[in-house]
Amino acid sequence: MEDFILIKNGLVLTLDRKGTAGYFNILVRNGKIYHIDNENKFNEKEFISKYPDTLIIDAADRIIMPGFFNSKLISSYSLNKYFFKKCTYENINSWLSLKLTERFLTAKDNSDLNYELFGISHARSLLNGELFISESSSTISKEFFDKYFKDSDQIKQYFNLTVYDYGLLTDITGEEKNISLGFRTDEDINNYSLASMKKVLSGNKLRLFIDASLSQGTFESVKKDFGKPFITVLSEMELLSQGTVISNPTHLNQIELDILCKKGATILLSPSDYLNFQDKKTDLDEIFLSGLNIITGTGYTGDNIFAELKILSSLISKNVISSEELLKTAIRNPSQLFGISNITGSIERNKSADMIILSLEDIRNVPAVPETESEILADFIIRNLSAKDISDVILRGRVLVRDKKLIEEDSSLLRKKSEEISARIYSEGKYFEYKEKYLMRGRVDKIKADRQEKKSEEVYVDITETESEYMGEGEFIIVGRKPEEFEQSRGKAVIDDTNNIEEISSLEDGVDFLDKNESQEISVHSYSKSASDDENLKGHKADAKSIKDNAEEINQEKEKENIAEPVIRKEKLKFGFGEEDSNKKV
């Protein structure tokens, strides 16, 4: 029995090679696109009369487009993103709350909780229109892999699993297409770690995801140990190929971009992580202009691919890339990387019926565009719509989301489990303990700041001779030193230059330059000889005689004090001989 779905009256963006877009009907048969009515020649009544069980979806006031690819989904941190609030690329590998969370989720006793966490994350991803997910969590053990990813219908989307535990690769026969090898950079990038990764790759045909979000310390360490940048090291060790994905590179120069282009590698961008973790802005324009294959993912802090595309459009300069090409970084480009471009990634005949339907019923979503060209429609979608406008999701011809609700899942139960698991993870990650620690640190800093801001009355003190430092006691602030009067320059003294001008009554009186109040009477002595003068003269002679006698006494005392100089007696030097022996020799 054939199963048909007719999607009619919708505005379709196909993202095919021709850039087809417009209003036309789509007919799905047995999970694949059977017919696209570009020329409006489809006779609906005739078809329904022939196939009355056909499911009809009226897509009036809707946009139909291919589903998104999330090339980096980290489900283990999907319900505790607040742990990343204070993280950067410099400290994310040593952040204690993240380590505690990872240890908790990888414990064997918590495998059921981890199982439910992944189920919630993938259900949310489906509601966001992400029909392909590349799971990049590092909390996947061998038991969890066998239970969730292997021989299980728990995950509904197309998926890829990036494995960081090489022990999971012991038995992956038949699963190679869904598994990639992951390499997370840290402070221990050396020849041994890179050689081990190369050895694992040599025995398996796997894609390689390399986290190139290097901290400054790791970047300098690699340059010191190898004498060259990280990308150059990977190239020389033959770790770059068409199956290599460089995730969120933080240090790239033009030479390294040329190497990646030559090797045909792919760059994975998580715009939210760039904004939240990167200290300086990365020049994404050069990456887009290099011609590399670029794909997008939510990473640690992103919520959905739709939001990531909006952020990415704001990070790159205008006219660097078209809106249609930007949209393809989340649809067509990853479909080629993961080897399913012949199955999905565009709305074309004989491809899988994988598409999302966006509602335009809200007056704010009215497509006020001059024409339904592919580029104009892509620009409208990125700028005006969001993940919350996705009303329906069709995967492999099955309607999994209808009117913004999951058909095969209990949304209320998922909501309840989400709240419980989130609370448990925040508790295990010691969120409240570390929050109190930061609050206490903030209070201490505030007290210190308040003390520094307090000002007391200005007091002048004397500075001791200890390199101009005050050595006394007391709680006051020294704002300066009072200069002593003797230190002040005389040139700074203020002189009263006031001139008092007076009128001269007569030229015969002359000019008086002195103030009458300051004038003093000068006494004039006469030099007439008198008896007292003779007595004074005799006194002076007597004084001169006494001075002469004193000088003679002083000279006599000095002669007495002179000690006679010792007399030096000259003799012959004797070298170990007695007096008699010396006389004999002479």
pLDDT value, residue 567: 56
pLDDT value, residue 561: 55
pLDDT value, residue 148: 78
pLDDT, tens only, 466-475: 555 555 555 5
> Is the pLDDT score of 71 beyond 80?
yes
Strands 62-66 and 398-402: unpaired
> Is the pLDDT score of 190 beyond 50?
yes
pLDDT value, residue 448: 63
> Is the pLDDT score of 224 beyond 80?
yes
Distance, CA of 584 to chain centre: 102
Higher pLDDT, 395 or 221: 395
> Is the pLDDT score of 569 beyond 70?
no
pLDDT value, residue 198: 87
Average pLDDT over residues 99-126: 91
pLDDT value, residue 283: 80
pLDDT value, residue 91: 85
Average pLDDT over residues 314-318: 89
Higher pLDDT, 455 or 126: 126
pLDDT value, residue 578: 54
Across 356-365, 430-439, 498-507, least confident range: 498-507
pLDDT value, residue 560: 57
Higher pLDDT, 217 or 453: 217
Average pLDDT over residues 520-535: 52
Q: Could you tell me the pLDDT band of residue 460, with boundaries at 50, 70 and 90?
A: low
pLDDT value, residue 215: 84
Higher pLDDT, 502 or 274: 274
Average pLDDT over residues 561-586: 53
pTM, whole model, 2 decimals?
Answer: 0.74
For the chain, what is the mean pLDDT?
82
Share of the chain above pLDDT 70, in %: 73
User: Domain 67-349 is of which CATH architecture?
Assistant: Alpha-Beta Barrel (3.20)
Do residues 233 and 260 make contact, with C-beta atoms less than 8 angstroms apart?
no
Q: Could you tell me the pLDDT band of residue 368, with boundaries at 50, 70 and 90?
A: confident
Expressed in percent and rounded to 5, the helix, strand and coil fractions of the chain are 40, 15, 40
Q: Using CA atoms, how far apart are residues 342 and 224, in angstroms rounded to an integer? A: 45
Q: How many helices (H) and strands (E) does the chain have?
A: 18, 17
Highest mean pLDDT out of 43-52, 206-215, 389-398, 566-575: 389-398
Residue 550 CB contacts under 8 Å (≥ 6 apart), including other chains: none
Higher pLDDT, 405 or 502: 405
> Is the pLDDT score of 345 beyond 60?
yes
pLDDT value, residue 585: 46
Across 54-58, 366-370, 375-379, least confident range: 366-370
Highest mean pLDDT out of 260-269, 278-287, 461-470, 543-552: 260-269
pLDDT value, residue 165: 82
Q: Could you tell me the pLDDT band of residue 230, with boundaries at 50, 70 and 90?
A: very high
To which residue do tokens 């003390």 refer?
451
> Is the pLDDT score of 543 beyond 50?
yes
pLDDT value, residue 586: 43
Q: Could you tell me the pLDDT band of residue 555, with boundaries at 50, 70 and 90?
A: low
Both tokens of 262, joined, read 């030559």
Q: Is 355 exposed, middle or buried (0-12, 13-18, 19+ CB in 10 A)?
A: buried
pLDDT value, residue 318: 81
Average pLDDT over residues 288-293: 93
The candidate with the shortest Cα–Cα distance to 70, out of 244, 300, 348, is 300
> Is the pLDDT score of 408 beyond 70?
yes
pLDDT value, residue 118: 94
End-to-end CA distance of the chain: 150
Average pLDDT over residues 211-235: 89
Q: Using CA atoms, how far apart are residues 503 and 427, in angstroms rounded to an integer? A: 101
pLDDT, tens only, 13-26: 999 999 999 999 99
Q: Using CA atoms, how far apart are residues 196 and 112, in angstroms rounded to an integer? A: 32
Q: Could you tell me the pLDDT band of residue 154, with boundaries at 50, 70 and 90?
A: confident
**What number of CA atoms fall less than 13 Å from residue 487's CA on the CB side?**
4
> Is the pLDDT score of 524 beyond 70?
no
> Is the pLDDT score of 564 beyond 80?
no
Average pLDDT over residues 198-222: 86
> Is the pLDDT score of 135 beyond 50?
yes
To which residue do tokens 């006020």 refer?
368
Backbone angles phi, psi at 544, to 5 degrees: -65, -40
Across 120-129, 252-261, 396-405, 493-502, least confident range: 493-502
Strands 398-402 and 405-406: antiparallel
Both tokens of 8, joined, read 């009619």
pLDDT value, residue 125: 97
Residue 138 CB contacts under 8 Å (≥ 6 apart), including other chains: 76, 102, 164, 165, 182, 184
